[in-house]
């Protein structure tokens, strides 16, 4: 679908949605769909959650924006709640994931110059990673398609294979400029790749040995998605810097860069900022999300539903010749097929199911954490039929 008045940034499907409720969504002709994608891991509480809607209504009648020239109590409250769940000390609020990563990259560079005295600080980033579409974050991204045509890229990134500690050790021994590692605990866009169980521990140890900041991009994996508040909490470590966005506002644009210890003290007045970042409306949404997550115990719910989904999916696709691998962490699901399968998105849409295909041949499911078991059964049923039709 192309629209004359819009830049052709996106290959859009020819459907427009009008309203939603929980995991259900309706198009402008009144057809109902089951949403197993949540606007790409954004609407984790489901569509039109009343608590978020109420918070937005109430706040928008009081005050939407004041700027960061003044105190913003809602921002301070959200920072407290968020950092206590994340085990971090301090927060900088942005409007998107890419901007949260920009803040992380700037922290790493300042830390490199000021704490480590490195003239040309470099950040290790991974093959197959995705960190956003701004110039710095696309340069950090490990996908040529995202970068092609936008050269010169931002310098100061060193590429390493994902889930390969030995390769990192070699880089560490040979490159004195490195000051940080930026990594997704599970690669999302890259095809739902889950590293070895001890990967983060090993990364932490290496970072400690060399004085690097361990910076985790939890933009897709965070906010309960993987059955923990943050995916890194499947391990025993803590990062120095962590970025969140997608599900933090359940659809209201808000991102955050969290930091701990020395990394939390790097940014000082004048070194970074954002006009909209953490404004009262966005923070009211974020606080409502945190409250619902807590009250409905959605992190445990996501873990339990993820286990159920994973078991059912493995049963349903057992013996399916074109299925190469099924990878799940909580409600983050990748089904790798032996051939590219982009057409599945349109086929599923026709069956009233919203899914995504990433990395060409990986079906990605990111259902809302409130999806019911009946709805999970229905997703799996439709998928099994479609995969067999391929």
Ligand X SMILES: *Cc1c(COP(=O)(O)O)cnc(C)c1O
State the catalytic residues: 130, 217, 246
Cis (ω within 30 of 0) for the bond into 152? yes
Min dist. Cβ of residue 384 to ligand X (A): 27
Q: Return d(Cα 27, Cα 181) in angstroms, integer.
A: 42
The tokens describing 110, both together, are: 């300042």
The piece of 105-113, 124-132, 196-204, 377-385 that touches ligand X (CB under 6 A) is 124-132
Min dist. Cβ of residue 96 to ligand X (A): 4
Count of chain residues binding ligand X (CB under 6 A): 15
Q: Decide if 2 contacts 334 (C-beta within 8 A).
A: no
Restricting to residues 246-275, name those near ligand X by CB under 6 A: 246
The binder of ligand X chosen from 25, 39, 171, 184 (CB under 6 A): 184
Is residue 130 a contact residue for ligand X (CB under 6 A)? yes
Look up residue 247 and give its DSSP letter. G
Min dist. Cβ of residue 317 to ligand X (A): 25
Is residue 131 a contact residue for ligand X (CB under 6 A)? yes
The tokens describing 211, both together, are: 């004085």
Q: Return d(Cα 82, Cα 287) in angstroms, integer.
A: 9
Residue with tokens 């701990």: 260
Nearer to ligand X, 95 or 235 (CB): 95
String of contacts with ligand X for each residue 86-105, x by CB under 6 A: ----------xxx--x----
Q: State the Rg of the chain over Cα.
A: 21
Tell me the residue number closest to ligand X, measured at CB.
97
Is residue 193 a contact residue for ligand X (CB under 6 A)? no
Nearer to ligand X, 186 or 293 (CB): 186
Look up residue 193 and give its DSSP letter. B
The binder of ligand X chosen from 72, 110, 178, 245 (CB under 6 A): 245
The piece of 103-111, 128-136, 197-205, 355-363 that touches ligand X (CB under 6 A) is 128-136
Look up residue 230 and give its DSSP letter. S
Q: Return d(Cα 131, Cα 98) in angstroms, integer.
A: 6
Is residue 188 a contact residue for ligand X (CB under 6 A)? yes
DSSP 34-92: EESSHHHHT-TT-BT-HHHHHHHHHHHHH-S---TTS--HHHHHHHHHHHHHHT-SEEE
Min dist. Cβ of residue 385 to ligand X (A): 29
Its sign, for the CA torsion 351, 352, 353, 358, is: positive
Restricting to residues 1-60, name those near ligand X by CB under 6 A: none
Nearer to ligand X, 257 or 371 (CB): 257
Residues of this chain that bind ligand X (CB under 6 A): 96-98, 101, 130-132, 184, 188-189, 217, 219-220, 245-246
């Amino acid at each position: 679908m192309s629209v004359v008045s819009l830049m052709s940034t996106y290959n859009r499907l020819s459907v427009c949605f009008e309203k939603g409720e929980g995991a259900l969504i309706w198009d402008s002709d009144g057809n109902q769909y089951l949403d197993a994608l949540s606007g790409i891991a954004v609407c984790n509480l489901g569509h039109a959650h009343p608590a978020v809607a109420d918070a937005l209504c109430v706040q928008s009648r009081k005050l939407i924006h004041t700027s960061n020239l003044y105190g913003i109590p809602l921002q301070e409250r959200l920072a407290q709640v968020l950092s206590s769940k994340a085990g971090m000390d301090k927060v900088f609020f942005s409007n998107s994931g890419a901007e949260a990563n920009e803040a992380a990259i700037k922290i790493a560079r300042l830390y490199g110059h000021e704490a480590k005295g490195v003239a040309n600080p470099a950040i290790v980033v991974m093959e197959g990673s995705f960190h956003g579409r701004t110039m710095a974050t696309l340069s950090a991204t490990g996908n040529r398609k995202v970068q092609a045509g936008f050269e010169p890229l931002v310098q100061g990134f060193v590429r390493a294979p994902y889930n390969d500690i030995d390769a990192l050790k070699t880089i560490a021994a040979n490159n004195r400029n490195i000051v940080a590692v930026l990594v997704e605990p599970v690669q999302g866009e890259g095809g739902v790749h889950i590293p070895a169980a001890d990967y983060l521990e090993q990364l932490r140890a290496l970072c400690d040995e060399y004085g690097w900041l361990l910076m985790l991009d939890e933009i897709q994996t965070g906010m309960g998605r993987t059955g923990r508040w943050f995916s890194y909490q499947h391990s025993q470590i803590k990062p120095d810097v962590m970025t969140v966005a997608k599900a933090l506002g359940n659809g209201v644009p808000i991102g955050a860069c969290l930091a701990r210890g020395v990394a939390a003290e790097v940014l000082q007045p004048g070194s970074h900022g954002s006009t909209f970042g953490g404004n009262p409306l966005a923070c009211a949404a974020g606080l409502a999300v945190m409250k619902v997550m807590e009250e409905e115990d959605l992190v445990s719910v996501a873990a339990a539903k993820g286990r159920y989904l994973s078991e059912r999916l493995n049963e349903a696709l057992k013996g399916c010749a074109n299925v190469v691998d099924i990878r799940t962490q909580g409600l983050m699901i990748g089904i790798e097929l032996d051939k590219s399968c982009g057409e599945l998105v349109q086929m599923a849409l026709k069956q009233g199911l919203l899914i995504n295909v990433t990395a060409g041949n990986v079906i990605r499911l990111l259902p809302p954490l409130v999806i019911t078991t009946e709805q999970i059964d229905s997703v799996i049923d439709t998928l099994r039929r479609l995969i067999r039709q391929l």
